Amino acid sequence: MILLVSMTKPGDDYSQNGAGAWGNKLKFEEISGHPCLIQHYSEVTPQSCKDIGARAIFISGFGYGWDEIPLKRILGLYDVVKSLEYPVLGACGGHQLLGHIFTKDFRKNPKLADEPMRKLRPGEPDWDPDYHPGWFVEKGMHPVEMVKRDPIFKGFRKRMWMREAHYCEVKKLPPDFELLATNENCKIQAMHHKEAIIYGTQFHPEAYTDAYQDGKKLLTNFFAIAGLTR
C-alpha cells in the first residue's frame, strides 16, 4: 500500500490539493501497480501506517503558510518519518517538511515559519503578484542539475526538467542528509537521508506531462527502491 499524505488544511477537499490528490493517487497506482490510499496528515500515526500495511509514503505540497499548521496535529506523521521505517518521498512542501522534521523538535517548537527563497530584486518582474507578492517564486517547468548519482536518478542525464511551484525552500541541508540536485534558483532541489530511504524534492515529480516525463521516471525509480514494482 502506498500512503499519499495530503497536506491540505483540515476540512479542505483532498481533490483541491495541488494537481489533485485523487489524480496523483491514480498516477501512483498506474506507475507502481499497487493501491494508494489518501490520508490527511492529521490522521497519520505509526499505528495507522501499520494498520494499512504502508510500504511507501508520499508527502504532498500545499499552498498556505507554515504558521497555519498546528504542530500537535502533525506529531503522528513526525513520529512516522523520524522512525526511518518507511520509504518516504516528500515533494515541495513535503520536502520542506522533511527539512523541518530533521532539524527541529516538534514537541518543543510552538509553530513553524515560512523560509522564502528571496525578495524580488529591483526591477525584477513579479510574474505572479497574487502569490506572495514581492517575493521570488519559482514556477513552471525548470531545469534541475544532478550533483550526486543516486538510484532515484537511474536512467537520467545530469540535467532534468521538473515542475516547480514554490517561494519557500529548505535553507540548510539537515544532518544525515546529502544533496542530490540543485539549480540556480534553489540550492536544495533534491536530498536523501544517508541511512534511510527518505527523499525530498523541492520540485513536483508527480506533476509530469506528456512533454516532460522526468517526474514520472523519478517516481518509477522511487517505487522500485521501495520494493513496489509490477
Q: How far apart are CA 41 and CA 113, in angstroms?
A: 18
Q: Which residues contact 161 (CB under 8 A, 6 or more apart)?
A: 141, 142, 143, 144, 212, 214
Number of H helices, E strands in the chain: 5, 9
- CB distance 86 to 56 below 8 Å: yes
Report the relative pairing of strands 138-146 and 159-166 from DSSP bridges: antiparallel
Q: Does the annotation count 204 as an active-site position?
A: yes
Secondary-structure percent of the chain, ordered helix, strand, coil, rounded to 5 = 30, 25, 50
Residue at 215: amino acid letter: G
Write the pLDDT tens digit of every residue in 66-109: 999 999 999 999 999 999 999 999 999 999 999 999 999 999 98
The topology (CATH level 3) of 2-225 is Rossmann fold (3.40.50)
Q: What is the pLDDT of residue 18?
A: 44
Q: Does the annotation count 92 as an active-site position?
A: yes
Q: Does the annotation count 184 as an active-site position?
A: no
Q: How far apart are CA 182 and CA 145, in angstroms?
A: 5
- CB distance 191 to 171 below 8 Å: no
Q: What is the pLDDT of residue 104?
A: 95
| Burial (Cβ within 10 Å: 0-12, 13-18, ≥19) of residue 122 | exposed
Helix (H, G, I), strand (E, B) or coil at 68: helix
Q: What is the pLDDT of residue 90?
A: 98
Q: What is the pLDDT of residue 19?
A: 47
Q: How far apart are CA 63 and CA 46, in angstroms?
A: 26
Q: How far apart are CA 144 and CA 181, in angstroms?
A: 7
**Residue 185 Cα to chain centre, angstroms:** 17
Q: What is the pLDDT of residue 109?
A: 87
One of 95, 100, 142, 204 is an active-site residue; which one?
204
At residue 121, does pLDDT exceed 50? yes
Write the pLDDT tens digit of every residue in 151-161: 999 999 999 99
Q: What is the pLDDT of residue 17?
A: 47
Q: What is the pLDDT of residue 15?
A: 55
One of 36, 49, 92, 186 is an active-site residue; which one?
92
Write the pLDDT tens digit of every residue in 35-50: 999 999 999 999 999 9
- CB distance 14 to 68 below 8 Å: no
Q: Which DSSP helix (H) or strand (E) runs through 166?
A: strand 159-166
How many residues are given for the chain? 230
Q: Which DSSP helix (H) or strand (E) runs through 96?
A: helix 93-101
Give me the residue spans of the domains in the chain. Answer: 2-225
Q: What is the pLDDT of residue 13?
A: 66
pLDDT band at residue 229, thresholds of 50, 70 and 90?
A: confident
One of 138, 164, 169, 206 is an active-site residue; which one?
206
